[in-house]
Amino acid sequence: MTSTNDAPVRLRSEILATPPYAQGVAPAPGGYKLSSNENPFDPLPSVASRALTVADFNRYPDARMPALRAALAERYGVPTENIHVTAGSVALLYQLVSAAAGPGDEYIYSWRSFEAYPGLGVISGARSVQVPNTPSYAHDLAAILAAITDRTRIILLCSPNNPTGTVIAAAEFEDFMARVPATLLVALDEAYCEFVTDGSAVNGRDYIGRYPNLVILRTFSKAYGLAGLRVGYGIGDSRILDAARTAAIPLAVTDAAQQAALASLDAERELMARVAHLTARRDRAVTALRTAGWNIPEAQGNFFWLPLGEQTEHANRLFTDAGLIVRPFPPEGIRVSVGEDAAIATLLSVAETILSDLPADSPARSAQKASTR
């Protein structure tokens, strides 16, 4: 592929063809940022002060992250070599795809899902294979299995799925793992697992050590509120994690991030109480919207999905005008993060205006409400 790019040097065409990561924009003063699935609570003082104890930052960190790996190993009941700490779990996603899938190989994931997935293979030359979500915005595990070819090297599963909020049921997951080839790497991305209240959902913790081809990915960015410090981790077979380490940029996790993560584990009770507030806030907002006539898929993360279809950009403008920065994915829908409580009233009122303008056949209208109109 030749590029029309006018860079002053020769660059790889596949890189030029891929847009750089686009971050959610900041809200106007007085507005709310509900676009990046961040935790709206301020950092806990105990966590902030521990991060600031790192005084010798003229030195490189210990790349093995010994203290945090030991704490996580104890928590999950595994040897430390089964834990790999990375600069956010997105780094681990890149490492796993780079380690497993080279030029011409394939990696499969459900779509729509986390916006980083399509770019994960750009550097290694792996081909991204997207399997459409079911009509209820969930993973279609049978279709994912059917998409496996002899070039497939890794499958990404996301539960709860960003941005649609749906989970994979534990029974479905077990059935999937029984069918997937044992030599094929499966990465279970559980960035939002702490927000799950559906007892039938998969929880990677229950499968540690059971499937040698499974790596579980978790993060301190969301429930633990450390998004800006960049720390996540994987749990899995040490040989797979060693391959990820080989594919990693060395020394990417800072000691300040490690200390903040350790302090967060110490403050877990307080942090999980905040998570309980956020899930209750999520459920209140989703219930109010459904009662008003919105069709909202299962919402098990710290966000929910408005399947606005062609009306996505119009609705996004209305949210923005009201000071709410949400995440539009035109022409599919809008993801709204559950942020500050004070944002909810405005959110519900803008949503009411949007709903009243939606065409009768909009996927965002609940079928039940639409038929009784």
Ligand X SMILES: Cc1ncc(COP(=O)(O)O)c(C=O)c1O
Rounded Cα distance between 12 and 210, Å, is: 41
Q: Which is nearer to ligand X, 90 or 263 (CB)?
A: 90
Q: Which is nearer to ligand X, 180 or 261 (CB)?
A: 261
* Least distance (Å) between residue 113 CB and ligand X: 7
Binding to ligand X by residue 227, rule CB under 6 A? yes
Q: Where are the alpha helices (DSSP H) in the chain?
A: 13-16, 45-51, 66-76, 89-100, 141-146, 170-179, 238-247, 255-266, 268-292, 312-321, 344-357, 367-371
Rounded Cα distance between 217 and 207, Å, is: 12
Exposed e or buried b for every residue in 196-221, given b needs 16+ CB within 10 A? beeeebbbbeebeeebebbbbbbbbb
Dihedral pair phi/psi, residue 179, rounded to 5°: -95, -25
Q: Which is nearer to ligand X, 90 or 215 (CB)?
A: 90
* Least distance (Å) between residue 191 CB and ligand X: 4
- With contacts defined by CB under 6 A, name the span among 42-50, 82-90, 128-136, 331-339 that binds ligand X: 82-90
- Residue from 95, 128, 133, 162 in contact with ligand X (CB under 6 A): 162
- What SS3 state is found at 80? helix
- Residue from 191, 201, 334, 338 in contact with ligand X (CB under 6 A): 191
Binding to ligand X by residue 90, rule CB under 6 A? yes
**What interhelical angle do 344-357 and 268-292 show, nearest 10?**
30
Q: Which is nearer to ligand X, 69 or 365 (CB)?
A: 69
Q: 255, 198, 257: which is closest to 225 by C-alpha?
A: 257
Binding to ligand X by residue 94, rule CB under 6 A? no
Q: What residues from 99 to 118 belong to the interface with ligand X (CB under 6 A)? A: 114
Q: At which residue do the structure tokens 């209750």 appear?
A: 280
Q: Which is nearer to ligand X, 113 or 366 (CB)?
A: 113
Determine which helix (DSSP H) or strand (DSSP E) holds 129, and give its type and residue range. strand 127-132
Binding to ligand X by residue 194, rule CB under 6 A? no
Binding to ligand X by residue 229, rule CB under 6 A? no
Q: Which is nearer to ligand X, 36 or 134 (CB)?
A: 36
Applying CB under 6 A, the site for ligand X has a residue count of: 13
* Least distance (Å) between residue 291 CB and ligand X: 28
Dihedral pair phi/psi, residue 325, rounded to 5°: -90, 115
- With contacts defined by CB under 6 A, name the span among 104-112, 137-145, 219-227, 326-334 that binds ligand X: 219-227
Q: 279, 340, 366, 352: which is closest to 30 by C-alpha?
A: 340
- Residue from 43, 121, 232, 234 in contact with ligand X (CB under 6 A): 232
Chain residue at closest Cβ approach to ligand X: 88
For binding to ligand X (CB under 6 A), which residues are involved?
37, 88-90, 114, 158, 162, 189, 191, 219, 221, 227, 232
